[in-house]
Structure 1
Amino acid sequence: MLKLEDLKPTPGSVRKPKRVGRGIGSGLGKTGGRGHKGQKSRGSGKVHLWLEGGQTPLHRRLPKVGFKSFTHKNYAVVNLRMLEERFETNEEVTPETLVRKGLVKDIKDGIKILGNGELTKPLTVKAHAFSKTAKKAIEMVGGKAEVI
């Protein structure tokens, strides 16, 4: 049976570390493979990733892009045409029923009803926002448009 103490790496897969600065005969004596002078030859000569040696750094070469508005709302939109197809007369339309019937996948920041299409049956529509044409069309057929 194989035991933990019997495990060995595959032959040839593990090399001995190079011993730098141990004399001329080693091939890595004197400067220890770092060359002469310069930042990387020094003791703590680390060069940060964002430094580009006098060249304008990448983060300054790239344009400033974008703006995020904290007041803008991203509504899930539903057209009147969709309500006409999926709902019966005098039925109540809420964000939950719209998700259940597959008209919207996600409520996002709210539901907005748009006036694309015609509505022939009265519905009680509860949504977060309405376009003027949608509100007018819902009320013309005897329905209610309630903002929640």
Structure 2
Amino acid sequence: MRLNTIKPGVGSKSPAKRVGRGMGSGLGKTCGRGHKGQKSRAGGFHKVGFEGGQMPLQRRLPKRGFVSLTRGRNAEVRLSELAVLPVEDIDLLVLKQAGVIPADSLAAKVVLSGSISKKVVLRGIGATAGARAAIEAAGGSCGE
């Protein structure tokens, strides 16, 4: 086999339709657009989902689901970030003052990333199962 002999499979490629080239082509006169109407004319265009003024399907159907407005204001804190804090009792205010989480955060959760060897007490802060185990192994607690 040589690269200059490679050809696509038989029937996989068809020649492009040349519209408006006489009746013998099968696409003469109206060029396959039919007679009259918006779609037959040059520039005949309507928005996707437009139903001629009828209330569109995406507006007729009820909207379901939930989008949390506070999702972006939940912060994650690594174990290694807790280890460098100078205090033992840690709450949301301490994390904000230390610059670990943004000042507009509404909630925080400790995730298992890095390690911790000092005792810390979490108040009003969540923790994943792995982070909770690591904090308790170091002598700390995750009491709310």
Q: TM-score, normalised by structure 2?
A: 0.50
Pairs within 5 Å for 1:1-148: 56=51, 60=56, 67-69=65-67, 75-88=74-87, 91-106=88-103, 108-147=105-144
Residues 78 and 104 of structure 1 are in contact (CA less than 8 Å); yes or no, is this contact kept in structure 2?
yes
Identity across the alignment (%): 18
Select between 124-133 and 93-102 the one with higher mean Cα deviation.
Answer: 124-133
Residues in 2 aligned to 1:130 and 1:140: alpha-carbon distance in whole angstroms: 14
Residues in 2 aligned to 1:98 and 1:77: alpha-carbon distance in whole angstroms: 11
**Which AA in structure 1 matches 2:130?**
T
Q: What displacement does 1:61 show?
A: 6.8
Residues in 1 aligned to 2:119 and 2:86: alpha-carbon distance in whole angstroms: 10
Residues in 2 aligned to 1:100 and 1:132: alpha-carbon distance in whole angstroms: 26
Q: TM-score, normalised by structure 1?
A: 0.49
RMSD: 3.3
**Which AA in structure 2 matches 1:122?**
K
Residues in 1 aligned to 2:109 and 2:99: alpha-carbon distance in whole angstroms: 15
Which structure's CA Rg is the greater one? 1
Q: Which runs of 5+ in 1 are unaligned?
A: 1-51
Residues in 1 aligned to 2:52 and 2:95: alpha-carbon distance in whole angstroms: 50
Q: 1:126 to 1:96 in 2, by over 3 A?
A: same
Q: What displacement does 1:107 show?
A: 5.7
Paired residues in the alignment total 91
